[in-house]
Chains A and B, each alone.
Chain A
């Protein structure tokens, strides 16, 4: 099966600019996650969707970050305006609903550099 797709793979912007990331999960996976991974740290959950509803966005900085999954399939994560500390890899992951395993399948990530 095809994996989780993300684009772009790399993005360089200046602070105060806006940026958007796109994720297409594995077909049939109802749960979709966006993580922020700062260099040398573990993935930090930003938002979790189940179908097109938000399950958890408690760690999403809502003053500048937004995410949507309108049709319950692909998703976009936006940062507006970006700050220097937003430099990180943004990982999208998906998981099948139900079943015995909670395995998350990760995409290749988008490496964001804010100058």
Chain B
């Protein structure tokens, strides 16, 4: 079946270091969304990418959508302790199904 793979599963960084999580779909996506889930919380929408090759920035966060619309990445510059949580990508397939990746859990050491 259709899958969205996300790597790495977790990452430990020192505060101030950069962080990147990658998302790969087995099929072409209509769009991709990114969510953040704080420990003990629920997923909260960050952004949606729709166009091939699209790049969007939110302060220290940079989101990219691949040219083939099958992969995406989230890069955080100079991590802070407030960035701690799990970052999920969620791909919308051509059949209008939303498939979540397994998430990347980010640990930030002060």
- Point out residues on A near B: beta carbons under 8 Å: 33, 35, 41-45, 48, 55-56, 91, 93, 101-109
Q: Which residues of B contact A48 (CB under 8 A)?
A: 97
Q: Which residues of A contact B88 (CB under 8 A)?
A: 42-43
Cβ of B11 to closest chain A Cβ, rounded Å: 14
| Contact across chains for B42 and A108 when beta carbons are under 8 A apart | yes
Number of A-B pairs, beta carbon distance below 8 Å: 46
Q: CA of A41 to CA of B43 in the docked complex: distance in angstroms?
A: 12
- Point out residues on B near A: beta carbons under 8 Å: 6, 31, 33, 41-45, 48, 88, 90, 92, 96-103
Cβ-closest chain A residue relative to B46: A103
Closest 4 CB pairs of A and B: A42-B100, A106-B42, A103-B45, A42-B102
The secondary-structure label for the interface of chain B is: strand
| Contact across chains for A102 and B33 when beta carbons are under 8 A apart | yes
Q: Which residues of A contact B48 (CB under 8 A)?
A: 101-103
| Contact across chains for A103 and B33 when beta carbons are under 8 A apart | yes
Q: CA of A109 to CA of B99 in the docked complex: distance in angstroms?
A: 18
Cβ of B31 to closest chain A Cβ, rounded Å: 6
- Can you list 25 A-B contacts (CB < 8 A)? A42-B6, A42-B101, A42-B103, A43-B100, A45-B98, A45-B99, A48-B97, A55-B96, A56-B97, A91-B42, A91-B43, A93-B43, A102-B31, A102-B33, A102-B92, A102-B98, A103-B33, A103-B45, A104-B43, A105-B45, A106-B44, A107-B42, A108-B41, A108-B42, A109-B42
